[in-house]
Amino acid sequence: MKEKNVNLSISEGDAFFAHEVSVNFNPMQFVFDFKCITPRVDMRAREAPVFTLKHNVVMMDPYHAKHLAEMFTNAVKKYEENYGKIKKPEALQKHDKKVKKGKKEDVHEMPSYFG
């Protein structure tokens, strides 16, 4: 077999921290919409808060989506074997208790994706 040279161009994406992710699907694909919402200080917009919302969308066929789910499950299992069980942070546990008790005056609303 004759060897051939191949030119490869790699375009790396930017690092992205996702605060939220939504998953949608149709018969042909899964759509993973990773979202990062960040409050911004804008002195001109005094009436309403300003948020920056970034999206990174990943689409894959159902077979690859299932494989991705298996990879995540295995990665979390290995993480917990090495570092211990993943638990909800104490601050979020306290927040959830306040919300359940109806103490809304003590709870600051966290921004969420509008849509």
Q: What is the pLDDT of residues 44-101, one digit of tens each?
A: 766 777 788 888 999 999 999 999 999 999 999 999 999 999 999 999 888 888 888 8
Same-domain status, 50 and 69: no
Domain housing 96: 62-101
Assess if residue 97 is contained within a domain: yes
**The predicted structure's pLDDT at residue 44:** 72
Question: Residue 5 domain-assigned?
Answer: no
Answer yes or no: do 25 and 51 share one domain: yes
Does residue 114 carry a pLDDT above 70?
A: no
Torsion angle of the four alpha carbons 54, 60, 64, 65, in this order, in degrees rounded to the nearest 10: 60
For the question of whether the overall pTM of this predicted structure is more than 0.75, the answer is: no
Same domain, 67 and 93: yes
Residue 112, domain member (yes or no) = no
- Domain assignment present for 48: yes
Indicate if the pLDDT at residue 115 is higher than 50: no
Asked if residue 109 is part of any domain, the answer here is no
Based on the structure, what is the number of domains in the chain? 2
**Does residue 106 lie within any of the structural domains?**
no
Between 106 and 94, whose confidence is greater? 94
Residue 4: band (very low, low, confident or very high) from pLDDT cuts 50, 70, 90: confident
115: closest CA among 47, 73, 43, 55?
55
Same-domain pairing of 27 and 41 = yes
Residue 34 lies in a domain: yes
Nearest to 19 by CA among 87, 113, 88: 113
Q: Give domain status of residue 24, yes or no.
A: yes
